[in-house]
Amino acid sequence: MKNYRIAVLKGDGIGPEIVNEAMKVLDAVAAKCGFTVEYDEALLGGCAIDATGVPLPDETVAKCKAADSTLLGAVGGPKWDSMPGNLRPEKGLLGIRAALGLFANLRPARIFEPLRDASPLRPDIIGGSLDIMVVRELTGGIYFGERGRLEENGVQAAYDTEKYSVPEIQRIARIAFDLAMKRNKKVCSVDKANVLESSRLWRETVTEMAKEYPEVELSYMYVDNCAMQLVRNPAQFDVVLTSNIFGDILSDEASMISGSIGMLASASLGESGSGLYEPIHGSAPDIAGQNIANPLATILSVAMMLKYSLGESEASDMIEKAVAEVLNEVRTPDIYVEGFRKVSCSEMGDEVCSHL
């Protein structure tokens, strides 16, 4: 029987509560699909600072590198807010992404039919169904380019540099095209090629790569137009491929279409394919320890892990289907509306398991 080794970083705040439910669901789907899962827990963030003095202990990096994939809850909280910059929980997050060489960030934005009303978009704009995957480059561009301050004629100035190399663009484009092949075979590459030279190289490189994927329909869009189209006609998108800074902004915009932060999963991938999977929300210290957090974003992150890192697509689809079904019956407080049964975090995990 196939066995997967998963590194588990529960983190802080609601992290342990939501990850426990995701592990419960992963165990249940594994039993149904005929594979087993072994967990290797490690510390990250505030809990790691408390136990070891640093947000990312070497042991955590080693465990993640040895695993088939990594599941992360969330890190941070008021307890560590006054720590110096390099000792803050978030530093651990950036550190583990760098240590695992994760250069691609995948953020799905989709509407679960029963949560249609939670979307800030009108039903006629959402259309029949909505399922967008934003693929954001994660380790290059302006966030990592040369920056500095200078004085010009007695006036203070500052600069940041947007720079991309062909191999950097190729590897992220390949992720987008490969994903599109498993989805609706459409890639929209988003840039600012009417102004930026780095965008022109981006466009040339993506165009070249498209020749390897004749089945994929490639289109281009300027980032300002894309920001508009996401709220005007979001159903036109399948895979959106873009740079670090544009992806940062567009993925937040796209994810809000689904209406609830407790539902949003994400994946970060590197060369090895093992990846790091986590909900996009934070550690929600305001509701931690009360068993009321919504575990669905973390459960859906597990579904992404099964599909994109473990090659267990059937198990992944089973989880997504179960989540869609439970939303017709039960709700955690963050997505509760009248007419549904209100459930706790752990009850939501049980409900998903029973719908598998």
Answer for the pair 110, 130: CB distance below 8 angstroms, yes or no.
yes
- Minimal distance in Å, beta carbon 109 to ligand NAD? 16
Answer for the pair 309, 297: CB distance below 8 angstroms, yes or no.
no
Q: Which of 12, 68, 191, 248 is catalytic?
A: 248
- Minimal distance in Å, beta carbon 119 to ligand NAD? 17
Q: Measured in whole angstroms, how far is the alpha carbon of residue 215 from the centre of its chain?
A: 26
- Rg (Cα) of the chain, in Å, rounded? 20
Q: Which residues pair with 267 in a beta bridge?
A: 106, 277
Q: Which of 27, 40, 131, 252 is catalytic?
A: 252
Show the DSSP H helices in the chain as ranges.
15-33, 46-52, 58-66, 89-99, 123-126, 166-182, 197-210, 223-232, 244-256, 296-308, 313-326, 345-354
Told to judge if 178 belongs to the known catalytic residues of this protein, a careful annotator would answer: no
Told to check if 75 binds ligand NAD by CB under 6 A, we report yes
Q: In the chain, what is the straight-line distance between the N-terminal and C-terminal CA atoms, in Å?
A: 20
> Which lies closer to ligand NAD via its Cβ, residue 234 or residue 282?
282
SS3 120: coil
> Which lies closer to ligand NAD via its Cβ, residue 37 or residue 74?
74
Q: Which of 281, 307, 331, 355 binds ligand NAD (CB under 6 A)?
A: 281
Told to judge if 131 belongs to the known catalytic residues of this protein, a careful annotator would answer: no
> Which lies closer to ligand NAD via its Cβ, residue 18 or residue 26?
18
- Minimal distance in Å, beta carbon 112 to ligand NAD? 15
Query: Which span (137-145, 190-198, 243-251, 278-286) binds ligand NAD, by CB under 6 A?
Result: 278-286
Burial class (CB in 10 A: 0-12, 13-18, 19+), 35: middle
Place of tokens 């137009």: 225
Q: How would you label 186-207 residue by residue, b for 16+ Cβ within 10 Å and e otherwise?
A: ebbbbbbbeeeebbebbbebbe
Q: Which residues pair with 149 in a beta bridge?
A: 158
327-356 mask for ligand NAD (x: CB under 6 A)?
Answer: -------x----------------------
> Which lies closer to ligand NAD via its Cβ, residue 227 or residue 261?
261
| Contacts to ligand NAD from residues 2-21, by CB under 6 A | 14, 18
- Minimal distance in Å, beta carbon 317 to ligand NAD? 23
| Contacts to ligand NAD from residues 236-275, by CB under 6 A | 261-262
Q: Which of 39, 143, 222, 336 is catalytic?
A: 143
Number of residues near ligand NAD (by CB under 6 A)? 22
- List the structure tokens of 135: 């693929």
Told to check if 90 binds ligand NAD by CB under 6 A, we report yes
CA 201 – CA 42 distance, rounded (Å): 40
Any idea what DSSP says for residue 50? H
Query: Which span (121-129, 247-255, 282-290, 308-316) binds ligand NAD, by CB under 6 A?
Result: 282-290
Q: Please report, as ranges, the residues that interact with ligand NAD according to CB under 6 A.
A: 14, 18, 74-77, 90, 93, 261-262, 278, 281-287, 293-294, 297, 334
Residues annotated as catalytic are 143, 192, 224, 248, 252
